[in-house]
Chain A
Amino acid sequence: MTDLALAPALPPVHLKVHWTERCAHFALALVALALLAFLAAPLGAILLKAIEDAQGRFAGLANFIAYAKTPALLESLWNSVWVSALVTVVTLPAAFGFAYALTRSRMRFKALARTITLVPLLAPSLLAAISLIYWFGNQGTLKSWLTALGIAQIYGAPGIVLAEVFSTFPHALMILITSLTAADARLYEAADAMGTSARRKFFTITLPGAKYGLISAALVTFTLVITDFGIPKVIGGSFNVLATDVFKLVIGQQDFPKGAVVALLLLAPAVLTFAVDHWVSRKQTAMLTARAVPYRPKRAPWFDGLMSAYALCMCALILAMLGMAVFASFASFWPYDLRPSLRHYAMGLVDAEVGEAFVNSLVMAGGTALGGTLLVFAGAYLLEKTQGARPVRSLLRLLAMLPMAVPGLVLGLGYIFFFNAPANPLGGLYHTLTLLTICSIVHFYTTGHLTAVTALKGLDPEFEAVSASLKVPFYKTFWRVTLPICTPALVDIARYFFINAMTTISAVVFLYSPETKVASIAILNLDEAGEIGAAAAMAVLIVAANTVATLLFTVLSWWVDRRTQAWKQP
């Protein structure tokens, strides 16, 4: 047939690398480097600090042992664990019931109910704590209810539990809704054909089907509570938990090694959640195969009525939380003078330079939205749609998923250790708004990354091949095709970054300086000084800003759809 000699014994063939691919590799390396510097290195710094002593010499496990020997600190550990467990046990059924009402009944006003449940996401976690003080504090409106239940005061564990339930509710709800939606109607039809009772169907079909969702939601809730800082700070009273311990140790006593030990403890539940989630997602057989029929709930008046009532109840509670904070922020002098006044807003904005903090928050949130979206999308694109540079690629894949396992407190602490070290060339970033922004970007990176990856995977995988065959560099295709098609996803990612950056406390509380104080920290300081009215006012302002931002993003989304997605309608 041919007399071309066969290539000699097989060394691996490598294609010559086109210069555009080199660009891609370079960009990949940059992104990986950024994550190394701003994620891996700070975590490493914590690890190092935990095995150092106060003078910086190697101390092995001495700090851990000292920790284990301090009864007060161990008590905090126990407190954290049982409070988190209690919150999980309360939130999970509550959220499950709500998700069930949304997915398995024909109750009215589902969209409205769903929207209301997103309210806690728009507020800093300590809004709930502040609100609870007004409801159930010693001057609280419903204080008598609390004493009737035998609870002495809202400060301490009761307040933490209630506020955390409010805070974690939307997170658990989202997971459970996704889980319950993925149901195959045919299973239920088969059960009905066999005359199975509703109760039996629930326990043998619904619950097992939602198994992984329940596990996931439980872990997420537990981790969120155990690593939350804002709520125990405001309403914890004399009840010590791990999150506040880290602060007392690091900021209060400047005892960095012990602080690092507690930070590592806080890392554990998050890492566990991450690992279990990873394992679960592998085991989860697709409930919805191509043949599955989506479940459509049937009309059942009693059941629907019950579900409606339940949803109404939950929504009322959520609105009550927000409402009280709004009401109290306008009260001149709680509880003695409830006449409406703008005193707290004025005080917060003018006297205590909290207005500046609000502006800082907006700048930081804007920067996070902009920078975060760019970085996340570039990283996801480079990972999914380019080839080569395998080791860098694997590293970046790992780093992109890591932030999900790192609580904000731990990240912030790592940033202090890493960026305040005298030898660090990046040390100039310390105490700047830039560093706060970067910290927020890294903190919320993974969700953005996953959204971007999902969007990119929805594109035809051969775009890049076509582009190469037509000798168009990949970045031109990125600009002309990939980016425009993915714009809806980009808007989603930007909104996520913005809202979370506005409300985050844990990640930034270590890193701010007086000029770069952000609104959520300002609220904390106001509460610390006992100016709870002003604190409530600021919290309400953050909710307002986030609501406006969400609306703006929705409008942006709509506009973007019209501009770049016109090709969708046939």
Chain B
Amino acid sequence: MRTPGPLPLVVAAGLLALSLSAAAQKTTLLVYTALETDQLKAYQEGFNKVEPNIELKWVRDSTGVITAKLLAEKSNPQADAVMGVAASSLALLDKNGMLEPYRPLNLDAIMSQYRDKKNPPAWFGMDVWGATICFNTVEAAKRGIPKPEGWKDLLKPAYKGQVVMPNPASSGTGFFDVTAWLALWGDKGGSGEGWKFMDGLHENIAQYTHSGSKPCNMAAAGEFVVGISFEYRANANKAKGAPIDLVFPKEGLGWDLEAFAIHKGTKKLDAAKKLADWASSKDAMLLYGKNFAITAQPGVAAPLANVPKDYEARLVKMDFTWAADNRERILAEWTRRYNAKSEPRK
């Protein structure tokens, strides 16, 4: 027992040699992402059809966590590329000089408001995801809760304890809700109407969840009546048969771009560029279109069953640079005011 024979060592050495040689032929890209786990597989397969020799390793977490992680690793970067992370976050990373500008193959097809303005761009959009309320009709009927038309309706006492929304510090969905309200009604460094709205909403909030999907899932299960979420999840849940209606508040919808960027300092620049090229391609856009109503390349997405055709028009005007510049301040203020109700993050 004290002296294992040489055989196990030989075997181990052999396996090691094999795996090393195998790895040598494939390049591995470490990609940080906030994409939903049920989407990752399809995109990965799509990419590997074109580039079978590049293996993708995902590090997946919610937008806020991924952003914080990337920032924390600034001096010792691990990621090769960032895919499917909110543009507002990528703008922040760019401010910190962490992105490698690159002009992907299909850039011209991408609408100008859905990409970084610089040339070559530091990042480009893949698809839009925007706010949608999941409203459980069965539970609402039981409690006599009316269907909201706009955000301000949610301030009514009828909704007390029945509203869930994502925490903006961890969830990109939550963050764009907050920035949208501030854009609609004013920030004024913490004293604007936007903040007053959120104060009122906070009274009715039962929980702040970690992920953007959870509010809709909870509404779908009837746990709460109003789940502030995003259109992909709302559409998917309704398709599964959940008794929910999708509500698009009339004042305007917050939104963000799922976007792509190459991390500066990556040792696998060529492979990352290939990934960028694919991510901007029409094939990729078609895949995105399966899940989202609006892709960065227009005219590609087929309409989603439960999402109105004028969805794009309802989106609020969004300035990603402003969002990036003020992210830290907004989050700090939000945490200071509302953190007591937050569901434990991760």
A163 to chain B, nearest CB (A): 14
Contacts of A139 in B (CB 8 A): 221-223
Tell me the chain A residues, 514-536 only, with Cβ under 8 Å from chain B.
514-515, 524-525, 528-532
> Would you give the 0/1 interface string for A321-348, flagging 1 where the beta carbon is closer than 8 Å to chain B?
0000000000001111100000000000
Residues of B within 8 A of A75 (CB): 340
By the criterion CB–CB under 8 Å, are A244 and B345 in contact? Answer: yes
Chain B stretch 209-257: residues in CB contact (< 8 A) with chain A: 209-211, 213-218, 220-224, 240-243
Any A CB within 8 A of the CB of B5: no
Q: How far is the CA of A152 from the CA of B206 in the complex (A)?
A: 11
Known pairs A251-B345, A336-B243; A137 contacts B208 (CB<8 A): no
Task: In the complex, identify which listed stretch (B64-72, B184-192, B261-269, B316-324) lies at the interface while the others stay far away.
Answer: B64-72
| Cα A155 to Cα B224 with chains together (Å) | 12
Instruction: Flag if B217 contacts A531 (CB, 8 Å).
Output: yes
Check A514 against B59 for contact (C-beta < 8 Å). Answer: yes
A240 lies within 8 A of chain B by Cβ: yes
Name the distance in Å between A447's Cβ and chain B's nearest Cβ. Answer: 23
With known contacts A72-B339, A240-B340, A254-B72, A352–B37 Cβ distance under 8 A: yes
Find the residue from A353, A475, A509, A528 having the highest chain B CB count within 10 A.
A528
Distance in angstroms between the alpha carbons of A530 and B76 in the assembled complex: 33
Chain B residue numbers with a CB within 8 Å of A515 are 57
Q: How far is the CB of B198 from chain A (nearest CB, A)?
A: 15
Contact A333-B241, Cβ < 8 Å, known A152-B161, A528-B214: yes
Contact status B343-A236, CB under 8 Å: yes
* Most chain A beta-carbon contacts within 10 A, residue among B211, B221, B339: B221
Q: Chain A 229-258, CB within 8 Å of chain B: the 1/0 string?
A: 000110011101100100110011110000
Given contacts A72-B339, A139-B223, A238-B207, contact A251 B65 (CB under 8 A): yes
Residues of chain A contacted by B207 (CB below 8 angstroms): 155, 237-238
Q: Contact at A238–B208, with CB atoms within 8 Å?
A: yes
Q: Report how far A336 CA is from B224 CA in the complex, Å.
A: 14
Whether B118 is near chain A, meaning CB under 8 Å from some CB there, is: no
**Separation in Å of the B167 CB from the closest CB of chain A?**
9
Chain B neighbourhood of A513, CB < 8 A: 59
CB-based contact B222/A336 at 8 Å: yes
Which residues on the A side are within 8 Å of B138 (C-beta)? 336
A interface footprint on B323-346 (CB within 8 Å = 1, 0 otherwise): 000000000000000011111111
User: Which chain A residues in 126-158 approach chain B with CB under 8 Å?
Assistant: 133, 137-139, 152-153, 155
Q: Could you tell me the distance in whole angstroms from the C-beta of B97 to the nearest C-beta in chain A?
A: 18
Does B274 reach chain A (CB closer than 8 Å)? no
Bitwise interface map of B from 114 to 125 toward A, beta carbon under 8 Å scored 1, else 0: 000000000000
Q: Is the CB of B242 within 8 A of A333?
A: yes
Which residues does chain A contribute within 8 Å of B214, judged by CB atoms? 528-530
Q: Verify A155–B206 contact, CB threshold 8 A.
A: yes
B169 and A252 form a contact (CB under 8 A): yes
Tell me if B60 counts as interface (CB < 8 A to partner A): yes
Q: Is A514 a contact of B60 with CB atoms below 8 Å?
A: yes
B65 touches A252 (CB 8 A): yes
Closest B residue to A533 by beta carbon equals: B221
Chain A CB within 8 A of B132 CB? no
Complex CA gap A248/B60 in Å reads: 17
Chain A residues, Cβ within 8 Å of B342: 238, 240, 248
Q: Taking each of B211, B243, B342, which has the highest tally of chain A beta carbons within 10 Å of its own beta carbon?
A: B342
> For the complex, is A478 an interface residue (Cβ under 8 Å from B)?
yes
Distance in angstroms between the alpha carbons of A241 and B342 in the assembled complex:
11
- A422 located at the interface, meaning its Cβ lies under 8 Å from any Cβ of chain B in the complex: yes
Which residues from chain B contact A334 at a C-beta distance below 8 Å? Answer: 221
Residue B2 is within 8 A (CB to CB) of chain A in the complex: yes
Q: Are B216 and A530 in contact (CB under 8 A)?
A: yes
Known: A335-B222, A475-B1, A479-B1. A530 touches B211 (CB 8 A): yes
Question: How far apart are A62's CB and chain B's nearest CB, in angstroms?
Answer: 19
Residues of A within 8 A of B218 (CB): 530
Asked if B71 and A254 sit within 8 Å, CB to CB, the answer is yes
The answer to whether A138 and B222 have CB atoms under 8 Å apart is: yes
Q: Is B170 an interface residue (CB 8 A)?
A: yes
Please report the total number of A residues contacting B with Cβ < 8 Å.
49
Residue among A251, A352, A422, A475 with the highest chain B CB neighbour number at 10 A: A251
Q: Does A459 contact B (CB under 8 A)?
A: no
CA distance A238 to B340 in the complex (A): 6
Q: Is A3 an interface residue (CB 8 A)?
A: no
Q: Is B195 an interface residue (CB 8 A)?
A: no
Alpha-carbon gap, A109 to B132, bound state (A) = 56
Interface residues of B in 46-80 (CB under 8 A from A): 57-60, 64-65, 68-69, 71-72, 76
| Chain B residues whose C-beta falls within 8 Å of the C-beta of A335 in the assembled complex | 221-222
Do A528 and B346 form a contact, CB below 8 Å, given A155-B206, A254-B72, A351-B38? yes
Residues of A within 8 A of B57 (CB): 514-515
Report whether A247 and B221 are in contact in the complex, using a CB–CB cutoff of 8 Å.
no
**Cα–Cα, bound, A208→B243 (Å):** 59
Q: How far is the CA of A155 from the CA of B210 in the complex (A)?
A: 15
Nearest CB of A to B262, in Å: 20
* Chain B residue at smallest Cβ distance from A509: B346
In the complex, whether A483 has a CB less than 8 A from a CB of chain B is: yes
Contacts of A525 in B (CB 8 A): 37
Q: Which residues of B contact A514 (CB under 8 A)?
A: 57-60
Q: Does A548 contact B (CB under 8 A)?
A: no
A152 / chain B contacts, CB cutoff of 8 Å? 161
> Which residue of chain A has its CB nearest to the CB of B205?
A238
CB-based contact B241/A238 at 8 Å:
no
The chain B residue with its CB closest to the CB of A236 is B344
Tell me, rounded to whole Å, the shortest Cβ–Cβ distance linking B233 to chain A. 8
> Which residues on A sit within 8 Å (CB–CB) of B41?
353
B-chain residues with CB within 8 Å of residue A530 when the two chains form the complex: 209, 211, 213-218, 220-221
Given A238-B343, A475-B1, A138 and B224 contact (CB-CB distance below 8 Å): yes
> Of B2, B58, B170, B223, which contacts A252 at CB under 8 A?
B170
Of chain A, the residue at the smallest CB distance from B40 is A353
A529 lies within 8 A of B211 (CB): yes
Q: How far is the CA of A319 from the CA of B215 in the complex (A)?
A: 30
Supplied contacts A336-B138, A528-B211, 17 more A-B pairs, CB within 8 Å: A139-B222, A236-B343, A238-B206, A238-B342, A240-B344, A248-B346, A251-B345, A333-B240, A333-B242, A335-B222, A336-B222, A336-B241, A336-B242, A336-B243, A514-B60, A515-B57, A532-B217
25 example contacts (A-B, Cβ-Cβ < 8 A) are as follows A133-B223, A155-B206, A233-B344, A238-B206, A238-B343, A240-B344, A244-B345, A247-B345, A248-B342, A252-B170, A254-B72, A334-B221, A336-B222, A336-B241, A337-B241, A352-B38, A353-B37, A475-B2, A478-B1, A513-B59, A514-B60, A528-B211, A529-B213, A530-B218, A530-B221
Query: Considering the complex of A and B, which 10 residue pairs feature the smallest CB-CB distances, nearest first?
Result: A530-B217, A244-B344, A238-B341, A530-B214, A254-B72, A252-B345, A254-B68, A248-B345, A139-B222, A233-B344
